[in-house]
Amino acid sequence: MIQYAGYTKINPFTGRNKALGSKQIDEGQFDESGTTPYAHGAAMMVKREVIEQVGMFPEDFFIYYEELDWSARITKAGYSIYYQSKGVIYHKESITMGKESSIKAYYHTKNRIYFMRRNFSKIEFAVFSMYLILLIIPKSFLKYITKGQYEHLKSFNRALLWNIKN
């Protein structure tokens, strides 16, 4: 089962992208290596000179979007990011946070907004903010309330507040 064969670029209006090959059976369809906009945080190799020039992962992220932000900084510094098709890494996805936990709701929401603030223009972030206000917030509130996930809702609200305060 493939988790990652590169990424698509993040949509500047929705703050979303896709992991190519995600949840697909490996039948050789991603056997060609090449550039990708973002590295996957589960496994990567990085030259020392890149780290020396760009720095380490930003600590404000902790989990989710940190490797995307770092990748954006790396490409802005003039480096390319590659997906290596011959590499095989075994990764148990979402074991630490769980597939759907209140902790994941917090960090995923907080860091998605924070990533957009750091990596897109003011106009793009304004459009994303409208998408957030008109679609993401109402949809998330409705989802968490109808599922009775009140801790998730609290975490979601804390993530929104973190971005307002910071």
Q: Tell me the domain boundaries of the chain.
A: 102-165
Q: Per mean pLDDT, which range of 26-30, 42-46, 72-76, 144-148 is the poorest?
A: 42-46
Predicted local distance difference test score (pLDDT) of residue 99: 65
Sign of the torsion angle spanned by Cα atoms 18, 23, 28, 29: negative
Which band of pLDDT confidence, cut at 50, 70 and 90, is reported for residue 63?
confident
> Phi/psi at 68 (nearest 5 deg)?
-70, -40
Predicted local distance difference test score (pLDDT) of residue 93: 64
* Between 15 and 100, residue with greater pLDDT: 15
The whole-number average pLDDT for the span 98-112 is 89
Which band of pLDDT confidence, cut at 50, 70 and 90, is reported for residue 94?
low
Predicted local distance difference test score (pLDDT) of residue 92: 74
The whole-number average pLDDT for the span 20-34 is 92
Other Cβ atoms less than 10 A from the Cβ of 123: the count is 9
Cross-strand partners of 35: 82
Q: Which long-range contacts (CB under 8 A, 24 or more apart) does 158-165 make?
A: 158/106, 158/110, 159/105, 159/106, 159/107, 159/108, 159/109, 159/110, 159/113, 160/109, 160/113, 162/110, 162/114, 163/110, 163/113, 163/114, 163/117
> Phi/psi at 50 (nearest 5 deg)?
-65, -45
Predicted local distance difference test score (pLDDT) of residue 95: 57
Q: What is the mean pLDDT of the chain?
A: 92
Other Cβ atoms less than 10 A from the Cβ of 52: the count is 8
